Amino acid sequence: MSLHPVDSAIIVIYVGVTLFLGLWISNRASKGLRSYFLGGNQLPWYALGLSNASGMFDVAGTMWIVSLLFVYGLKSIWIPWLWPVFNQVFLMVFLSMWTRRSGAMTGAEWITFRFGDGPSARLSHLIVVIFALIMVLAYMAYGFLGIGKLAAQFLPLDLAHLLHLQAFLPASVTADPGGAAYAAAMASLNEKAYGALIVFLTAAYVIKGGMYSVVFTEVMQFTVMTIASIGIAIVAVAHVSPEALRAAIPDGWSNPFFGLKLDLDWSELLPSANEKIANEGYSLFGIFFMLVLLKGIFTSLAGPAPNYDMQRILSARTPVEAAKMSGLVSVVLNFPRYLMIAGLTILALVYFSPQLRSMGADADYEAILPFALREFIPVGLLGLALAGLLAAFMSSFAAPLNAAPAYVVNDLYRKYIRPNAPEKVYLRLSYIVSILFVLIGTFVGLFLTSIDSFVTWITAGLYGGYTAANVVKWYWWRMNGYGYFWGMLAGIVFALALGMPQDQLAALGVPHWIMNPVNAFPFFFLACIAAVIVGSLTTQPTDMQTLGYFYLRTRPWGVWKPVREALAEQGTPVTENRDFARDMINVAAGIVWQTALVALPIFLVIRNGLGIFLSLAIVAATTVFLKFSWYDRLQDYPEDFSPPSGA
């Protein structure tokens, strides 16, 4: 498809403004590592919140959620709990404050704050750096896959032929240049060529400007995405009547509630949708929901993973601002994003279903988003929407790219190789590391084909492997660096194993049902917990001075009595955190609040009056409750601790 000159102009102007703004602001990042990676802890919480939301508004994820809403209807609002999306509620209520109280620059530096600097702490420090870098590469490859699929649908140049990429195809494919295999292979190469081009444009301003450039450009990008989302929702409502939508969906599609089984029957409307449901393992939706909830609670209790989310928290000016930032994300991310998702979905349900039907078992549900944009979004708004989705990619790619050099330069090079090098040396090395990660992430992305399967691996496999060790570190004083190392190592091994091709797993004797990372989670979680406990109890505990300072400053609830007693013996009595019950009530209210914020824009677009009323009522009631039970009780530090100046 050739874009109208107006749409092309909008995209070119957007890219130009983004690059200019990112590079213009970059001089602020040249003051040192803290300025480069954390914006000098001078960025306001609302800017960080908009930036964080922008980074989560990614293209690949949006494609995935559109396909989920298409097939599963309102029941799809529960499936992103795989991440889990409600981890932002746990962060909002208590974990962002606990994390920011450390004063650390990265997740690996936080590990030193928790376990000290002995041999066990260095092992735990090393393993979290390895995990963080694996996660950075995974997110970069995931974003690369999504933007390539989208760009190739709209941008006019056939980069694959222009760059003569057919030379990389096997002779058996190039022997028939008019055949279907050749066309499919070249289409895939074209997607990847566009993905690589946009990756390098994004890298240009992120590498130079660090966190300052990331945040300031993402605030602008979020504005573009919000305008585009509202416009798409309006277009969808104008084109799709309630009657047309009802004719295109099965019974139960607009009901978010469920029993043991999903009870959505597409057999008369779109048989391949039933096959998709069966292949994804969501037919027994009640069991899936319980597994996702179990995994989600433990993953959320583990705190922020060492990625862009943690970098935003550590960038906040104060612990309270970190909590406010995490709360803002649920509001500003979900409402506009789901306006776009719902609008594109109902357009595709009514107008794209015949084409999906004609594809039979090979129906490509990831093509729903490009189809709806191409066929229904008018000139001008299409350019803005594509600029918005391009902004979403730039945001989701920029954040992990900013995190990568933080771990290599701050947590490896400065800590173990040149601790007293000039700041300019660290900054130059950060540029080099960022470039290397762009190249490696792009290379990994070349081998990916399915967004859906990769999302499942990231959410259940990679995050699942992170969960066990990182839950225990907050709540049990006796866990030491060795326990953390063995728990994380076991988790990384399990996660990488689950990422292997299924035929290889089958050859190793792995049952088919456990190849799904969601089903496997309870088993490898228990194995990782065992590794944590054995690794901790068979070695010496962390020194009490390190534990005392961590507890004095962070003040988590959990099993910390021996540490409190040791502090009291040293003449530093501390108050126990007795907020567990209140925090859990606030978490429950926050999850209901967040879920209603997701459902509300969908109900608005499909014009379901009862759903709109109930969602608004729930949002209003939970907002009032959280105002008094959470917001009014936020506290930077415990009353009996005075942080060092500038912390």
Q: Which amino acid is at 338?
A: Y
Q: pLDDT category, 52, cuts 50, 70, 90?
A: confident
Q: Residues with Cβ < 8 Å from 215, sequence gap 6 or more?
A: 39, 43, 47, 48, 51, 315
Q: List the one residue out of 307, 398, 315 whose CA is nearest residue 22.
A: 398
The C-alpha angle 171, 177, 179, rounded to 5 degrees, equals 105
For 248-289, give the secondary structure using H, E and C. Answer: HCCCCCCCCCCCCCCCCCCCCCCHHHHHHHHHHCCCCHHHHH
Please give the average per-residue pLDDT across 236-263, as a whole number: 93
Q: List the one residue out of 431, 362, 27 whose CA is nearest residue 203.
A: 431
Q: Which amino acid is at 397?
A: F
The C-alpha angle 369, 373, 377, rounded to 5 degrees, equals 150
Please give the average per-residue pLDDT across 487-495, as a whole number: 88
Q: Kindly tell me if the per-residue pLDDT of 633 is higher than 90.
A: yes
pLDDT digits 0-9 by tens, 79-97: 888 778 899 999 999 999 9
Please give the average per-residue pLDDT across 271-283, as a whole number: 83
Q: What is the pLDDT of residue 397?
A: 67
Q: Kindly tell me if the per-residue pLDDT of 157 is higher than 70.
A: yes
Q: What is the pLDDT of residue 34?
A: 52
Q: pLDDT category, 206, cuts 50, 70, 90?
A: low
Please give the average per-residue pLDDT across 164-193, as a whole number: 79
Q: At what angle do helices 308-315 and 319-351 cross, to 10 degrees?
A: 140
**Token digits of residue 72:** 């599963």
Q: Are 253 and 420 in contact (CB under 8 A)?
A: no
Element (H, E) at 621: helix 609-629
CA distance 462 to 466: 7
Measuring CA to CA, how many Å separate 477 from each of 99, 134, 147, 340, 549? Answer: 16, 28, 44, 46, 12
> How many percent of the chain have pLDDT more than 70?
86
Q: Are 352 and 143 in contact (CB under 8 A)?
A: no
Q: What is the pLDDT of residue 36?
A: 46
Sign of CA dihedral 169, 171, 177, 183: negative
CA distance 418 to 413: 6
Q: Kindly tell me if the per-residue pLDDT of 448 is higher than 70.
A: no
Domain ranges for the chain, please list them.
Answer: 5-449+577-633
pLDDT digits 0-9 by tens, 11-31: 888 777 776 766 665 555 455
Q: What is the pLDDT of residue 636?
A: 93
Q: What is the pLDDT of residue 523?
A: 86
> How many percent of the chain have pLDDT more than 90?
34
CA distance 264 to 73: 9
Q: pLDDT category, 614, cuts 50, 70, 90?
A: very high
Q: What is the pLDDT of residue 370?
A: 81
Q: Residues with Cβ < 8 Å from 570, sequence gap 6 or more?
A: 548
Of 61-65, 385-389, 466-470, 593-597, give the range with the top mean pLDDT: 593-597
pLDDT digits 0-9 by tens, 304-350: 876 667 878 988 999 999 999 999 988 887 888 899 999 999 999 99
Average pLDDT value for the chain: 83
Of 205-209, 412-416, 428-432, 479-483, give the range with the top mean pLDDT: 479-483
Q: What is the pLDDT of residue 487?
A: 94
Q: What is the pLDDT of residue 39?
A: 52
Query: What kind of architecture, by CATH, is found in domain 5-449+577-633?
Result: Up-down Bundle (1.20)
Collapsed DSSP state (helix, strand, coil) of residue 86: coil
CA distance 376 to 395: 26
Q: Kindly tell me if the per-residue pLDDT of 438 is higher than 60.
A: yes
Q: What is the pLDDT of residue 115?
A: 93
Beta bridge partners of 43: 316
Q: Are 45 and 231 in contact (CB under 8 A)?
A: no
Q: Kindly tell me if the per-residue pLDDT of 117 is higher than 80.
A: yes
Q: pLDDT category, 462, cuts 50, 70, 90?
A: confident
Weakest mean pLDDT among 190-199, 481-490, 543-552: 190-199
Q: Kindly tell me if the per-residue pLDDT of 114 is higher than 90.
A: yes
Of the two residues 28 and 586, the one the predictor is more confident about is 586
Q: Kindly tell me if the per-residue pLDDT of 280 is higher than 50.
A: yes
CA distance 557 to 430: 37
Q: Residues with Cβ < 8 Å from 209, sequence gap 6 or more?
A: 22, 23, 25, 26, 28, 29
Measuring CA to CA, how many Å separate 348 from each of 64, 69, 276, 371, 543? Answer: 14, 11, 17, 7, 60
Neighbours of 287 (CB within 10 A): 14
